[in-house]
């Protein structure tokens, strides 16, 4: 079958299913089915029957709103590639901005100590280790399935990865950390219906839901960061776009923090809060 016709039909199916980026997903799935880079699809004129069947199955699963990254087994985050699949939160492009902030802050310190609370796939920790070679990076993940993926992704990166609760781990680092960074769960329980199918039905619940107002985990991160950071060091935490005031308020209300400010993503939506430990 002609590649162009095959992709055009896939785009139509994905668009009808409500997939947000049908053209991109259709091409990425075909490249995956053929075992080539997406950039090489232009060199393919015809697709044989076996590959057509494999592609059709992949498109069907994507049309059922299974995450693209679960189908390809890969996700890309800043300069690094990650192994992902069922049982681990798929990193979002918006989080790259938080990681960039952490990388920038770590770069201001000689041999910085960076802690990633709730690392999931290991995306932020791996990005920091990749872009700040002198950093001593530590990461923790509570969910055993996600921890498995983090182990694969952080192998050989020099990251100290631990299995445990972000609220109780790294007592040995208390008062010595330069940057704490976290993309915790932050979706209110009542917001279930508003969450994209890909996340709601396939991302682990532990990575999504965080109490009635979505701030429970952020409150824990604030407390833990206050213990871990040295005076004058910084914390950055991602939040929902509806939490542009409430998430910074978690930090401002304690009296422990200076320079509390919120940051917007590339779409202009509130995305993460940063603060400096005052005491």
The CATH code belonging to domain 3-64 is: 1.10.8
Under 8 Å between Cβ of 272 and 263? yes
Which position has the token pair 């509130």?
A: 270
Under 8 Å between Cβ of 17 and 64? yes
> Would you state the torsion angle of the CA atoms of residues 106, 107, 112, 114, taken in this order, to the nearest 10 degrees?
20
Q: Which residues are annotated as a binding site for S-adenosyl-L-methionine?
A: 118-122, 141, 183
Q: Which band of pLDDT confidence, cut at 50, 70 and 90, is reported for residue 212?
A: confident
Q: Which residues are annotated as a binding site for substrate?
A: 183-186
| Average pLDDT score over residue span 78-83 | 97
Name residues whose C-beta falls within 8 Å of residue 5's C-beta, 6 or more positions apart in sequence.
Answer: none
At 203 the pLDDT is 75
CB atoms within 10 A of CB 60: 13
Which position has the token pair 């902030």?
A: 101
The closest of 82, 100, 182 to 138, measured between CA atoms, is 182
At 84 the pLDDT is 96
Domain ranges of the chain: 3-64, 89-277
Under 8 Å between Cβ of 144 and 165? no
CATH number 3.40.50.150 given to 89-277: yes
Q: Give yes or no for residue 198 having a pLDDT over 90.
A: no
Q: List, for residues 119-157, the tens digit of each pLDDT value.
A: 999 999 999 999 999 999 999 999 999 999 999 999 999
The closest of 132, 66, 72 to 100, measured between CA atoms, is 132
Q: Which band of pLDDT confidence, cut at 50, 70 and 90, is reported for residue 194?
A: low
Q: Which residues are annotated as a binding site?
A: 118-122, 141, 183-186
Sign for the pseudo-dihedral over CA of 14, 20, 22, 24 = negative
**Strand pairing category for 270-277 and 229-238:** antiparallel
Domains 3-64 and 89-277 share a fold: no
At 195 the pLDDT is 63
At 139 the pLDDT is 98
Q: Which band of pLDDT confidence, cut at 50, 70 and 90, is reported for residue 206?
A: confident
Q: List, for residues 29-53, the tens digit of each pLDDT value.
A: 999 999 999 999 999 999 999 999 9
Share the mean pLDDT of the chain: 94
Q: Using alpha carbons, list the distances in angstroms from residue 160 to 115, 146, 155.
A: 9, 15, 10
Q: Give yes or no for residue 191 having a pLDDT over 70.
A: no
């Amino acid at each position: 079958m002609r590649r162009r016709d095959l992709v055009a039909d896939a785009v139509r199916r994905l668009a009808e299913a409500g997939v947000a980026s049908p053209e991109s997903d259709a091409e990425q799935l075909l490249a995956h089915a053929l075992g080539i880079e997406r950039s090489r699809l232009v060199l393919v004129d015809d697709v044989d029957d076996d590959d057509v069947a494999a592609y059709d199955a992949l498109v069907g699963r994507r049309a059922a709103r299974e995450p693209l990254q679960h189908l390809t087994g890969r996700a890309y985050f800043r300069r690094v590639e990650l192994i992902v699949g069922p049982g681990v939160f798929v990193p979002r492009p918006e989080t790259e901005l938080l990681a960039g902030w952490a990388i920038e802050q770590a770069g201001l310190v000689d041999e910085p100590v960076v802690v990633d609370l709730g690392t999931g796939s290991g995306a932020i920790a791996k990005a920091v280790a990749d872009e700040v070679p002198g950093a001593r990076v530590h990461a923790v993940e509570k969910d055993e399935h996600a921890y498995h993926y983090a182990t694969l992704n952080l192998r050989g990166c020099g990251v100290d990865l631990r299995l445990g609760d972000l609220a109780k781990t790294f007592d040995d680092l208390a008062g010595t950390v330069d940057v704490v960074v976290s993309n915790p769960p932050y979706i209110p329980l009542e917001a279930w219906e508003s969450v994209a199918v890909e996340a709601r039905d396939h991302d682990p619940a532990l990575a999504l839901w965080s109490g009635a107002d979505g701030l429970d985990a952020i409150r824990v991160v604030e407390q833990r960061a206050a213990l871990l950071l040295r005076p004058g060091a910084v914390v950055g935490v991602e939040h929902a776009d509806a939490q542009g005031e409430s998430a910074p308020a978690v930090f401002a209300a304690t009296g422990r923090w200076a320079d509390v400010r919120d940051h917007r993503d590339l779409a202009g939506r509130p995305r993460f809060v940063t603060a400096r430990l005052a005491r």
